[in-house]
A and B are shown apart, each in its own frame.
Chain A
Amino acid sequence: MEERLIEFASVLRRNGIRVSLSENMDTFRALELIGIGDPVLFRHTLRTTLVKRAGDVKPFEELFDYFFLGIGQALDAIDRKPFEHPRTRHGGIGGAR
């Protein structure tokens, strides 16, 4: 989990949300108290320790979904392989690749 959190912090940084080392440590300390069982509290905990500008809240929410809920990965996968669907694999339209 710790590695995952560090990775998430670097994803935030790459997207323009400044996260310092001390803030990352705050997240760990906070999660020791809150736990990682409740997804809603987990999200609130990350937000309050990592995001310090009102304008960064929205990007954070999106990146959180992308990173932890995997919505992004799923969409990405569809994007990357648009014609891999079993019904179209052997069909005529598959040839567009």
Chain B
Amino acid sequence: MFQSVNDVIAGFGAQKYICNNNVATVVYLGTALQKPILVEGPAGVGKTELGKVLADALGMELIRLQCYEGLDEAKALYEWEYAKQLLYTQILKEKIGDILQGSRTLQEAVDCVANQDGVFFSDRFLLPRPLLRALLSEKRCVLLIDEVDKSDAEFEAFLLEILSDFQISVPEIGTLKAKHIPFVILTSNNSREMSDALKRRCLHLYIDFPDSQREMEIIKLKVPDVGNQLAEEVVRLLHRLRKLDLKKTPSISETLDWVRALTLLNVKQLDHDLVEETLSTLMKYEADIRKAHQELKAYLAEKQAQRPGGGSEKDHLH
């Protein structure tokens, strides 16, 4: 467990995740107050990564529930293993025959079977899905509920119930209570606004793209071989690209992929043929790549123009 905000920064740093005071404060409070954290922000800023790193930093298991439209309780909470139940009845046919031997009418036979249904609706045939797994886990774990905005309103209401009581009732078995309350991280891309009731239960964290300085730190931490000049130029270009109207803004992980590719190809600065050819690691849509090409050209032209004068390059960093 984290003892303070600085403890979080240090713990995350050890997992190579650079977090600022704001992120650290929220994570510390979430773990100390045992409240779920709702993380919002544009795609690709490291929201999911936050959950993974939290689990690693605390040395806990990560249980992940990926949300999508139409996700229901059977896929999120638990399901009866119908096939297994059927298989068991097939194998146990004779035994079932024995039990039914005494009964003369259909009514009696049904009653006989009904007396036995506890066997078939027991833990043995219960298939726990992520939410139930997180509740029943022997050790405290981190539950990552990813892209919760993709799920529908009914599922959200149901989630709300679980997040407030940390227990569920299975009609055939009874109430299952959490052994340890898991640390819950919910991520949302804001494709729809979550309900006030859910938000009230959670601490809220908004993560945006990092500023130039922080992004430099991230690149150097994750790709130690990168040259200083390349890292600086990539960050400068990226902050220009993120201002464009793109189908998909380059994420931090894509930036890292690109820097890795460039470093591997031994590219030291952005005026290089290979830069254009590797842009596809950064951008995933043809139209975006075209726009990026233009921006790159504009950037290189400006760089060229500045070279004789020199000196003023630093002003462009922000």
Whether A1 is near chain B, meaning CB under 8 Å from some CB there, is no
What's the nearest-Cβ distance from chain B to residue A59, in Å? 13
Indicate with 1 or 0, residue by residue over A8-51, a CB within 8 angstroms of chain B CB atoms.
Answer: 00000000001010110010011001100000110011011101
What's the nearest-Cβ distance from chain A to residue B192, in Å? 12
Cα-based distance from A45 to B29 in the complex (angstroms): 8
Binds A, one of B33-41, B127-135, B228-236: B33-41
A residues near B33, Cβ cutoff 8 Å: 26, 29-30, 33
What's the nearest-Cβ distance from chain A to residue B204, in Å? 5
Whether B266 is near chain A, meaning CB under 8 Å from some CB there, is no
Cα-based distance from A22 to B35 in the complex (angstroms): 12
What's the nearest-Cβ distance from chain B to residue A26, in Å? 7
Q: For chain A, what secondary structure do more than half of its interface residues adopt (helix, strand, loop), or is it mixed? A: helix
Whether B203 is near chain A, meaning CB under 8 Å from some CB there, is yes
Q: Are B204 and A30 in contact (CB under 8 A)?
A: no
B26, B199, B206, most chain A CB atoms within 10 A = B206
Interface residues on B, range: 20 to 34
B residues near A22, Cβ cutoff 8 Å: 200
Whether A63 is near chain B, meaning CB under 8 Å from some CB there, is no
B residues near A33, Cβ cutoff 8 Å: 28-29, 32-33
A49-B21 contact in complex given A26-B35, A30-B33, A34-B29, C-beta closer than 8 Å: no
Cα-based distance from A57 to B26 in the complex (angstroms): 15
B residues near A54, Cβ cutoff 8 Å: 40-41, 190, 206
B residues near A34, Cβ cutoff 8 Å: 5, 25, 28-29
What's the nearest-Cβ distance from chain A to residue B13, in Å? 18
B residues near A30, Cβ cutoff 8 Å: 29, 33
Cα-based distance from A12 to B172 in the complex (angstroms): 47
Q: Are B29 and A53 in contact (CB under 8 A)?
A: no
Whether A52 is near chain B, meaning CB under 8 Å from some CB there, is yes
The residue of chain A having its C-beta at the shortest distance from the C-beta of B23 within the complex is: A44
Indicate with 1 or 0, residue by residue over B186-206, a CB within 8 angstroms of chain A CB atoms.
Answer: 000010010010011011111
Contact of B199 among A41, A45, A47, A52 (CB under 8 A): A52
Q: Are A48 and B5 in contact (CB under 8 A)?
A: no
Cα-based distance from A23 to B201 in the complex (angstroms): 8
Q: Are A48 and B32 in contact (CB under 8 A)?
A: no
Q: Are B200 and A57 in contact (CB under 8 A)?
A: no
What's the nearest-Cβ distance from chain A to residue B62, in Å? 22
Q: Are B204 and A48 in contact (CB under 8 A)?
A: yes
A residues near B41, Cβ cutoff 8 Å: 54
Contact of A45 among B25, B35, B196, B202 (CB under 8 A): B25
Q: Are A44 and B25 in contact (CB under 8 A)?
A: yes
Cα-based distance from A47 to B204 in the complex (angstroms): 8
What's the nearest-Cβ distance from chain A to residue B216, in Å? 22
The residue of chain A having its C-beta at the shortest distance from the C-beta of B30 within the complex is: A48
Whether B90 is near chain A, meaning CB under 8 Å from some CB there, is no
Cα-based distance from A78 to B169 in the complex (angstroms): 62
A residues near B202, Cβ cutoff 8 Å: 52
B residues near A18, Cβ cutoff 8 Å: 196
Cα-based distance from A52 to B193 in the complex (angstroms): 10
The residue of chain B having its C-beta at the shortest distance from the C-beta of A57 within the complex is: B206
B residues near A57, Cβ cutoff 8 Å: 206
Whether B22 is near chain A, meaning CB under 8 Å from some CB there, is yes
What's the nearest-Cβ distance from chain A to residue B63, in Å? 24
Which residues in window 18-62 of B have CB below 8 A to A?
21-22, 25-26, 28-29, 32-33, 35, 38, 40-41
> Could you list which residues of chain A lie within 8 angstroms of chain B, going by C-beta atoms?
18, 20, 22-23, 26, 29-30, 33-34, 40-41, 44-45, 47-49, 51-54, 57
Of all A-B residue pairs in the complex, the 5 with the closest CB atoms, nearest first, are: A52-B199, A44-B25, A52-B204, A48-B26, A48-B203
